[in-house]
Structure 1
Amino acid sequence: MGDESGASAPRRGSDRARSVLVGLVVIALAVAALAFVSGQWGLGCSTTDEYTLAVAPALAPAVREALARADTGCAVFGVTAEEPGEVASRLGTGAGAPDLWIPEGGWWAQRAQDDAAGSVRTLSFPVATSPLVLAGAPGAVPVAPNWRSALAVSDLNLGNPLRAGTASAAIRAAFAETDGDTVAVGTVRSVLAVLAQREGARKAESPTGQVALDETTGDDVTVTTEQQAQLYRRTRERDLEVWIPANGTVMVDYPVVVTAPDPDRNARASRTGAALADALNSADARAILSREGFRDGVGHALPDVRGLGTVPVLESQDDSVVEEALRTWSLFALPVRTLIAVDVSESMRRPVDGTTPLGLVAQAAKAAADVFPDSVSAGLWMFASDIGVRGRDYVEIAPIRRFDTVAGGETQREIVTSLEERVPDSTGSGTALYDTVLEAYRTAQAGYDPRAVNSVIVVTDGANENPRGIGKDELLATLGELHDPARPVPVVTVGVTDDADGDALAEISAATGGSSYLASDIPELAQILVSALADRSRR
């Protein structure tokens, strides 16, 4: 027994030694593997440079996988999946703008450049493409002769062309096939007006990608891409019928675009973007993109008899027509979101000919509000010297909410139009115009809604009477600094009675791209308030 126990001890020691050795080997292999993966970006680099990269949601997973295997020198990319309209909206001031961008549709780069704070340039041939298609349940997709007819399908799910690449691509396809025919162009515009009004009635953003296809039921037809349809068939237990008009379709492309607003950063991002494009055009990356259903940058048909094969491609001949159509779309589709600031100083409450200027505004406001649907969102401030807490010259009566929101047993429509009974008891005599305009502008800008026409409406009967506050020059200069062309918030000013400082009001509106009005009676003022609520001068 003693020999057996003595003999067994060394064997346990050997087992432990072997276990430790194996463990060390495993750790060493793991470290080596980790170094290899990290080395794809930084082998031989003392430091790595990090770049933000916004990618269309459909392409983002494939880009992440491809970059995990690619050699991009000393650059590391933080990839976020974002719709092109979301990225374009941030490029106006540059705040939160990515260094690089791969949008769904190369045309977004030109659109963004028009209002961008920095340089926006397309760096590369597309890293991928996918034809635009119509998809639905088998038998649900109608055989339309062209995209004009397709857009008129009653159960069409187009999406928001001010946000999504596929929706904007469908509009480009419809105009591309008109070839300048004025009658055909008019037909497209009429169809888009109907679709825009339908989009404007939505309470939430239109779904895109796989979510949009998930919600395609019954006779619904959804605008999507060949790639998204291929992915859906592969990952869902549902079949889709996919179709394009006989005259062709738009090829949705995915180029690399540099968007860093700082000039020096932009230059560095340009060099890195070129390396990124090379990495995404490598054989390994091409295999990943093809597996996920993307065509190459030229648009060659997918291998293995997948997809639609070779398709006729429609090219836009006049982008200005498309841009005009998108501006018109915003007139119909984008709901109103406004903050109304009403002067309730002593002069606004002083009786004149059996009423008061404030009473005049209240009657006109009720008449104007009756014209607008429940989709309008409005908030109400009142301003006068020392009306607010802590010496502020304005007070919030109601935050910005939809007209059909019920608060305290009243609809928002009722709250913002019943002005006289909302005036606080402790209201001063002076008009604190400039401070109120600035704070209202900041508030509206902070809550900016990209799906709406955002504005501030200021109604007053006087001039600024607040010696403790900012002056006109400081106000105009600050409004100029805050102005973001990609996130416009026009200040629409309305002067009531001849005592209003029309020149100052006009300057305030001009500084923000808004309009200025003067009125003296109820019918005129009601029409002016309708115009103020509908003001889309910066869209």
Structure 2
Amino acid sequence: MGSHRSASSHVDDAASSRTARRRSTRSRRRGRTVPLLALVAALVVGTAGWALASRRSDQPTAAGCDRPAVLRVVTSESLLVPLQRAAKGFAGTARARAACATVEVRYLAPTSAADVLALAASSGSDPGFDVWVPDSSTWARVASRRPEVDRLLPDVFPVLASSPTVMAVPEPMARAAGWDDDDPTLQQLLAAAHDPRGWGRYGHAAWGAVRMSWTDVRTSTSGLDTLVTLYAALQADTSSPEQLRAGLLDVQGSLRALDAAPGAALGPLRDESLSESKALARAVALPSTRREVDAFNRTNPAIPLTPVNLRGDATEARVGYLAVYGPRDDHDRRVDAAGAFGDYLTTRAGSQPLDDAGWTVVPATATARSGSAGSLAPLPRLEPGEPGETVVTEALQAWSALDRQSAVLLAVDTSGSMNARVSKGGETRIGLARAAIRASVVSFSDRSRLGLWAFSRRLDGDRDYDVVVPLGRADDRVDGRSRREAIRAAASKLRAAGDTGLYDTALAATRDVRAKAPESGGVVVLLSDGRDDDPGSIGLEKLLRTLERERDTAHPVRVYTIAYGGQADRASLRRIAQATQGRSFEASSPADLQRVLLASLTE
């Protein structure tokens, strides 16, 4: 852990701490905190470079500056207009003049921001922005599933605003069930969805079944935040991976859709041609935020929504101000610009656009340190790092695996280098791989196709790979147990020896998935800690040409590569992934492996 500075450090320390940081090269350590007004300034390293396809604001100019630093901020769609308004207000302040800075605010979806950061981290290039302000800090945890991205993002950062997560329920339904006055638990809502009486149990049989859907956790902030809270609660109440899987299956079994689009799902409530009874017979309850419910109701729909709080499962979407670590020549000016704008956003004037947009902000007058009320930035609320990357990673992988119907073939390097111990007296690389595989396959749907291969050199005659568990449906019986359990058992027996036959294995695994899952395609997860050293192999360039030539765009088989440890051939693994339109991941430290493997299986 890094050294900690108190959150209550005096504001006068800000300037001296910034100066000190300019004289040293900082290495990022987990858990680091700094004086709060200097927090963003200490964490950000300005960057420049790529042109992002995005909506951009008019760029306000700081008065009195000949060559102002341009702070590049990217944000979610719901925050774009408020932050553009704040940037214009900032331009006329003493803070902007002192930092000689202007602010440019652009839209970038959270998933796109994470992808850009991953590419920047792997290539050492500029991500094209200096500060990321997603509409929930959970998106930072999603991005940080990839260790190389995790190193670009701060561990602790200010929270500018928040909005409670709720279930959006049509007002007549919430009133009939009593949920407008008595907050239900999520389990009570799920029980109502299971009840064959539907709304008849509440005296409204004409409304039909109690319909619940989930918004897509890959793109929806409310769907993601509610899932993570649900997963953590189920995890606390269960004693085994199987029980946790059963709990998630029960939830998904209660839902009409796992990727509902709010606009379409709430359409019947806007349709004035429908009677109330017919509209409600088509209506669903969805995860949402109070801000989103209020925004919907401001459109004057035929039937408004009620934001139903979930008793015992309360959480909130927190707007974090995340400075990005990255290469930049004019580091010092970007540090000052990020700090100045971050400070401004916690003042009454700076936070007003967020308040106007329905976010809950910290009142400047409540925590102003000195001077006239609200004239100085308040002590910003800090994001404590919860939920952690592990919970977010596990929740996303478990949720997506339950609904996955395509094929997943795990191909694991079992060459001799995998016997290396990750620390003196510690576990071996192959031991950690065994544990990661066992954890990763538990949640997969019975409809998924799963398989496990091991590879080194000449494991099976002249073949560099061994088909440990053949690819097939997860619920098929293999040696008296489900394929899912057969893979878990076989993973425990993997042994490492020999050299590395990487290229031939990559081609054979891709062809095997294509042959056995032609109607769905799938994924090969290729984990290796070394480089191909088979002199008789297909060779990298021929492998890449073959993969590209055989690619099926309708039912693609993508290779997701995991470079495990410092000796892995990252460049070749990255090119193999690119040839199949897959993704490349890096697990540089032992602690990263399970998180990275789970992240690769969420894609």
TM range (shorter): 0.5 to 0.7
Displacement of 1:55: 1.2
Match status 1:147 vs 2:186: yes
Q: Which residue, out of 131, 137, 144, partners 1:106?
A: 137
How far apart, in 1, do the equivalents of 2:161 and 2:363 lie? 8
How far apart, in 1, do the equivalents of 2:265 and 2:236 lie? 32
Larger Rg: 1
How far apart, in 2, do the equivalents of 1:198 and 1:444 lie? 40
**Which residue of structure 1 aligns with residue 104 of structure 2?**
78
Cα distance 1:169–1:535, how it changes in 2: closer, same or farther (>3 A)? closer
**Which residue of structure 2 aligns with residue 325 of structure 1?**
395
Displacement of 1:135: 0.8
Cα distance 1:285–1:230, how it changes in 2: closer, same or farther (>3 A)? farther
How far apart, in 1, do the equivalents of 2:256 and 2:335 lie? 38
**Which residue of structure 1 aligns with residue 228 of structure 2?**
172
**Which residue of structure 2 aligns with residue 120 of structure 1?**
153
**Which residue of structure 1 aligns with residue 33 of structure 2?**
none
Q: TM-score, normalised by structure 2?
A: 0.47
How far apart, in 2, do the equivalents of 1:267 and 1:193 lie? 51
**Which residue of structure 1 aligns with residue 540 of structure 2?**
434
Match status 1:250 vs 2:315: yes
**Which residue of structure 2 aligns with residue 226 of structure 1?**
290
Match status 1:42 vs 2:42: no
Cα distance 1:453–1:233, how it changes in 2: closer, same or farther (>3 A)? farther
**Which residue of structure 1 aligns with residue 424 of structure 2?**
none
Displacement of 1:273: 2.5
Cα distance 1:38–1:158, how it changes in 2: closer, same or farther (>3 A)? closer
How far apart, in 1, do the equivalents of 2:152 and 2:333 lie? 13
**Which residue of structure 1 aligns with residue 351 of structure 2?**
286
- Answer with 257-266 or 234-243: which moved more: 257-266
Cα distance 1:437–1:206, how it changes in 2: closer, same or farther (>3 A)? farther
For the 8 Å contact 2:186–2:310, the answer to whether it is kept is yes
For the 8 Å contact 2:397–2:599, the answer to whether it is kept is no
Cα distance 1:190–1:150, how it changes in 2: closer, same or farther (>3 A)? farther
Output the amino acid matched with 1:127. L
How far apart, in 1, do the equivalents of 2:473 and 2:238 lie? 36
How far apart, in 2, do the equivalents of 1:196 and 1:148 lie? 12
Indicate the SS of the match to 1:127: strand
Output the amino acid matched with 2:117. L
Displacement of 1:253: 0.8
Output the amino acid matched with 1:230. D
How far apart, in 2, do the equivalents of 1:235 and 1:444 lie? 51
For residues 108-164 of structure 1, give each alpha carbon's deviation from its aligned partner in whole angstroms, at most 9, with x where no partner exists: 334433533452016742111111111122233454632344466643232232433
Indicate the SS of the match to 1:125: strand
How far apart, in 2, do the equivalents of 1:255 and 1:110 lie? 11
Match status 1:479 vs 2:557: no
Displacement of 1:102: 0.9
Cα distance 1:294–1:456, how it changes in 2: closer, same or farther (>3 A)? closer
How far apart, in 1, do the equivalents of 2:385 and 2:187 lie? 14
For residues 271-296 of structure 1, give each alpha carbon's deviation from its aligned partner in whole angstroms, at most 9, with x where no partner exists: 33222222222323333222221111
Cα distance 1:225–1:455, how it changes in 2: closer, same or farther (>3 A)? same
How far apart, in 2, do the equivalents of 1:195 and 1:164 lie? 18
For the 8 Å contact 1:91–1:97, the answer to whether it is kept is no
Displacement of 1:186: 7.6
1:183-198 alignment, distance < 5 Å = 189-193=245-249
- Answer with 88-97 or 181-190: which moved more: 181-190
Displacement of 1:98: 3.0
For the 8 Å contact 1:147–1:245, the answer to whether it is kept is yes
Cα distance 1:270–1:174, how it changes in 2: closer, same or farther (>3 A)? farther
Q: Which runs of 5+ in 2 are unaligned?
A: 1-56, 194-210, 270-278, 367-383, 410-462, 477-502, 522-535, 562-567, 586-592
Displacement of 1:62: 1.4
Displacement of 1:413: 6.6
For residues 45-68 of structure 1, give each alpha carbon's deviation from its aligned partner in whole angstroms, at most 9, with x where no partner exists: 112333332212222221122222
Output the amino acid matched with 1:479. S
Output the amino acid matched with 2:139. W
Match status 1:271 vs 2:300: no
How far apart, in 2, do the equivalents of 1:338 and 1:444 lie? 18
For the 8 Å contact 2:135–2:221, the answer to whether it is kept is yes
How far apart, in 2, do the equivalents of 1:265 and 1:146 lie? 51
How far apart, in 2, do the equivalents of 1:228 and 1:438 lie? 46
Match status 1:488 vs 2:589: no
For residues 437-495 of structure 1, give each alpha carbon's deviation from its aligned partner in whole angstroms, at most 9, with x where no partner exists: 334678999x9x9xx994279xxxxxxxxxxxxxxxxx94632555899x7358xxxxx
Match status 1:207 vs 2:238: no
For the 8 Å contact 2:71–2:104, the answer to whether it is kept is yes
Output the amino acid matched with 1:79. V
For the 8 Å contact 2:348–2:364, the answer to whether it is kept is no
Displacement of 1:167: 1.5
Paired residues, number: 369
Output the amino acid matched with 2:321. V
**Which residue of structure 1 aligns with residue 114 of structure 2?**
88
How far apart, in 2, do the equivalents of 1:226 and 1:484 lie? 41
Indicate the SS of the match to 2:286: strand
Output the amino acid matched with 1:207. A
Displacement of 1:76: 3.5
Q: TM-score, normalised by structure 1?
A: 0.52
For residues 196-246 of structure 1, give each alpha carbon's deviation from its aligned partner in whole angstroms, at most 9, with x where no partner exists: 6899987xx6536x6664477633011111111111111243411221123
Displacement of 1:80: 2.9
Cα distance 1:323–1:236, how it changes in 2: closer, same or farther (>3 A)? same
Cα distance 1:164–1:237, how it changes in 2: closer, same or farther (>3 A)? closer
Cα distance 1:55–1:316, how it changes in 2: closer, same or farther (>3 A)? closer
For the 8 Å contact 2:186–2:311, the answer to whether it is kept is no
Cα distance 1:160–1:38, how it changes in 2: closer, same or farther (>3 A)? closer
How far apart, in 1, do the equivalents of 2:286 and 2:306 lie? 11
In percent, how many aligned pairs have the same letter? 16
For residues 326-353 of structure 1, give each alpha carbon's deviation from its aligned partner in whole angstroms, at most 9, with x where no partner exists: 22223234564899xxxxxxxxxxxxxx
How far apart, in 1, do the equivalents of 2:88 and 2:548 lie? 42
How far apart, in 1, do the equivalents of 2:239 and 2:475 lie? 35
How far apart, in 1, do the equivalents of 2:116 and 2:286 lie? 28
Output the amino acid matched with 1:136. V
How far apart, in 2, do the equivalents of 1:281 and 1:51 lie? 17
